Structure 1
């Protein structure tokens, strides 16, 4: 079965019949690239010296990034029954990402028009209703009980986001009286509030994720749009974590790979990252690389955090402070390396690194294995 009721199986099912360790819920889009002379001002123009296409979409980007790092991942999505949708499915079949819960609908496939100037600055316009029509069926919801972590982007339609949150909360409640472990929950506040209205996750639901996600990620556009400013975002998140810690000093979620605890990271592009863990705030620098293309860097960064903080959590975490700076720093550093390497290649997914490439990158800069 698939994640929607409007098609039979799409993508290649897991041959072993096992649920992937990490489920990523988001679009598998086609990016149409225009290398323009300049990003046009209102009423202005530009010339495209090159036009090409590549594979993208936040959900697919995170899933493929984790797959490159050696993680067992699956995608929950919905594609269009058209040329773009068929291309997306064919591409997914070539990756290690499980496509059991990818549905096919009648709507035009989701795709993005990306204008990129010679300095790498971008403007993105998204069209196509296929992902907006995502509806989580019982099979997709049932799979969450057997997975270690669920990742969700704010571009997911609100009805789907609420069903994910309700499902994870139900699993957490059930785990109190059983030996089962609920999945960790990761939420990416991608896109400004205005961009998400009528299309993605609504502010009220985002607020619920802020207080219930094990990892909350937001970029330099989304955070100020939702919280009012980057400073207000940090203050609000830190305060919510402190209040949660006072009411429940123990880690409040536990994946099958060990305890997790509320963390958040706000990204600022080349200006670095702000991590908030256990109410404590820490600033980190981004790696300096020869940037070719920054598209998808945030998704690569999020995948790196999931790899280190969620999928790679160990039993030793329970013995640490909720804001153990070494643990926070190593996770952010690893994720920043994943993002930096990705920026050295064109398009989003071709440059996503393997684990050995990330380790070599860090070693060259004086950081050994953590």
Structure 2
């Protein structure tokens, strides 16, 4: 089986429950803060590992209690964290997350040790990448490192997935070595503005790939997810669940999607269905990493030979 390589962020999440998310200038009362491991890179790596993939992670934490807690969760998931750097001078990255009674959230991220990741760290972490592997990237680390990692992995025949979150301020060269772009409905509109294209997120899934290069999967909360294959729009509906906390749902989707595509030739729609079912379970729980389900909890989608397919090279 191919390996899923993840280069990305590791944060400690400070979670606060509120009745409603604050407006600009508003103060709201929240619950006592709880702390849990997170970061988009870490969440996606844990999701891929819990989905059954072999996962190698490159990132950075501080030499502190939060960093040690994150490393323990990665180890529990079976992730090779030998390329996670431990900084003695910078604290572990942090995210302050407010979650309302509907499960929606607002997030502020402080990068901390993530900013200390270097080009040499990325080279070392991707030294074993080979054809058929999958690389997963996000944008909570410097974009120069994201471009470097994508270029390195793709030059060796790996399949590169970029979750463009947080949404980038510019895209010059960012997508040159990306095979599949995963975005939500807000992020796809930011990319559309940067590319000078307009439309609904369903329309943008079809019109942006010629302008940007990579194929696109767009997640749209209760609407489900969308992509285009063989010129036609493919819609995977969302599961109906009682959402408690949407934090980490998108990361669960990305990790499960990567694991499915690394498991051998797979239809992209089938991988999206599996990822959707996993993220639906995640939102019924609280927190980020701790909400991600294990493979045995997620029913596998039945294969559909009539569906068009996107095949990851072996």
Same fold by TM (over 0.5)?
A: yes
1:109–1:130: 8 Å Cα contact kept in structure 2?
Answer: yes
2:139–2:168: 8 Å Cα contact kept in structure 1?
Answer: no
Partner in structure 2 of residue 341 of structure 1? 281
SS at match of 2:21: coil
Given the alignment of the two structures, is residue 165 of structure 1 paired with residue 117 of structure 2, yes or no?
Answer: no
Partner in structure 1 of residue 270 of structure 2? 330
Counting only pairs closer than 5 Å after superposition, residues 241-256 of structure 1 correspond to structure 2 as none
Structure 1 segments (4+ residues) deviating >4 Å: 367-370
Counting only pairs closer than 5 Å after superposition, residues 1-370 of structure 1 correspond to structure 2 as 21-105=3-87, 106-137=89-120, 138-145=123-130, 148-171=133-156, 182-194=157-169, 202-208=170-176, 212-228=177-193, 229=198, 230=201, 233-239=204-210, 263-308=215-260, 310-314=261-265, 327-359=267-299, 368=302
Q: After TM superposition, give the deviation of residue 117 of structure 1 in Å.
A: 1.4
Distance 2:55 2:17 in 1: 32
TM-score (norm 2): 0.85
CA shift digits 1:187-237 (9 cap, x unpaired): 11111235xxxxxxx5213332xxx42321011221111213535632433
Q: After TM superposition, give the deviation of residue 135 of structure 1 in Å.
A: 1.2
Partner in structure 1 of residue 307 of structure 2? none
Aligned CA RMSD, in angstroms, stands at 2.4
1:22–1:74: 8 Å Cα contact kept in structure 2?
Answer: yes
Q: How many residues align?
A: 295
Q: After TM superposition, give the deviation of residue 140 of structure 1 in Å.
A: 1.9
SS at match of 1:187: strand
Go from structure 1 to structure 2 and tell me whether the alpha carbon gap of 1:158 and 1:193 turns closer, same or farther (over 3 Å shift).
Answer: closer
Q: Unaligned stretches of 5+ in structure 2?
A: 305-314
2:223–2:237: 8 Å Cα contact kept in structure 1?
Answer: yes
Distance 2:224 2:2 in 1: 31
Q: After TM superposition, give the deviation of residue 274 of structure 1 in Å.
A: 1.2
Distance 1:306 1:149 in 2: 7
Q: Relative contact order (alpha carbons < 8 A, sep ≥ 6): 1 or 2 greater? A: 2
Q: After TM superposition, give the deviation of residue 331 of structure 1 in Å.
A: 2.0
SS at match of 2:92: coil
Go from structure 1 to structure 2 and tell me whether the alpha carbon gap of 1:129 and 1:285 turns closer, same or farther (over 3 Å shift).
Answer: same
Distance 1:147 1:63 in 2: 17
Distance 2:268 2:81 in 1: 32
Q: Unaligned stretches of 5+ in structure 1?
A: 1-18, 172-181, 195-201, 245-261, 318-326
